């Protein structure tokens, strides 16, 4: 594993192998403070869709499947990181596959069926989202919901300029133990909207749950449907 070579996308993806143990511990020990707001917010969005087939894209150590399974969801998780998928399988709740977005784009048939809910929870970290969003959208049932939760562009802006750009996460706020810093692509709100439109997805709701201590948004939670089904609904009205 090389933290220096490769494109930012490749380096970003590889960090999740090197950092898998530290990430799994941080999530399972509730050390990611914002998760106490963003996890329940995501469940609140998904719960009304039960029972449903869910694709958890970039599922990490699998917490979402473990939360959704008791609610009647049938969850499939995919992730490029073998150690994270192994950690997810150990605790169960769903079916987990080692599958990178790049491999899925190259071979969309790797997803055997379509899904009622497709969820990307803090897992779209690349500059070019069009290929993976396109393939995922093709696997969304016509009346399905496509949910993206991500860092809020306002909260994450920090001292940097409000422009799309590669940044680096060193995970220092999570108590150390992360061997590799992670490149990730900071995206403005407008950029998210354009990515959705380019993938043929229509925004139906946007939540910005506030952190109770700071009053700043803990995340940006975008709920989308297929543009085709949005057109059908509008035609009927
Ligand atoms: C911040 S973690 C979020 C994990 C999980 N969704 C959660 O809510 O805890 C980002 C996840 O995206 C996955 N990921 C990033 N780039 C990927 C890629 N190109 N293909 C597949 N998975 C990827 C990583 O392996 C990692 O598990």
Q: State the distance from the centre of ligand 1 to the C-alpha of 118, rounded, in angstroms.
A: 14
**Contact at 8 Å (CB) between 16 and 84?**
yes
| CA within 13 Å, CB half, 184 | 20
Q: Which residues contact 4 (CB under 8 A, 6 or more apart)?
A: 11
User: Does ligand 1 have an atom closer than 6 angstroms to the CB of 16?
Assistant: yes
User: Does ligand 1 have an atom closer than 6 angstroms to the CB of 59?
Assistant: yes
Q: What is the DSSP letter of 55?
A: E
Encode pLDDT of 90-115 as tens digits: 999 999 999 999 999 999 999 989 99
Reported confidence tier of residue 2, pLDDT bands at 50, 70, 90 = very low
Nearest CA to ligand 1 atom 13: 58
Encode pLDDT of 44-57 as tens digits: 999 999 999 999 99
Q: How far apart are CA 163 and CA 62, in angstroms?
A: 32
User: Does ligand 1 have an atom closer than 6 angstroms to the CB of 174?
Assistant: no
Q: Averaged over 157-175, what is the pLDDT? A: 90
Token pair 């919901």 is at which residue?
145
pTM over 0.85: yes
């Amino acid at each position: 594993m090389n933290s220096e070579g490769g494109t930012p996308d490749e380096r970003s993806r590889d960090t999740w192998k090197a950092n898998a143990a530290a990430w799994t511990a941080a999530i399972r020990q509730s050390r990611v403070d914002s998760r106490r707001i963003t996890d329940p917010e995501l469940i609140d969005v998904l719960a009304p869709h039960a029972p449903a087939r869910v694709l958890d894209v970039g599922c990490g150590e699998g917490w979402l499947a473990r939360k959704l399974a008791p609610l009647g969801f049938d969850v499939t998780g995919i992730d490029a990181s073998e150690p994270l998928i192994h950690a997810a399988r150990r605790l169960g709740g769903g079916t987990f596959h080692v599958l990178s977005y790049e491999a899925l784009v190259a071979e969309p048939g790797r997803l055997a069926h379509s899904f009622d809910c497709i969820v990307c929870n803090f897992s779209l970290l690349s500059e070019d989202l069009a290929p993976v969003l396109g393939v995922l959208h093709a696997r969304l049932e016509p009346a399905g919901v496509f949910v993206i939760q991500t860092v809020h562009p306002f909260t994450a802006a920090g001292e940097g300029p409000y422009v799309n750009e590669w940044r680096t996460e060193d995970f220092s706020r999570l108590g150390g133990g992360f061997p590799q810093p992670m490149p990730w692509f900071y995206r403005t709100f407008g950029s998210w909207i354009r990515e959705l439109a380019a993938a043929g997805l229509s925004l139906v709701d946007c939540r910005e749950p506030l952190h109770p201590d700071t009053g700043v948004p803990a995340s940006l939670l975008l709920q989308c449907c297929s543009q085709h089904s949005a057109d059908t609904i509008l035609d009927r009205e």
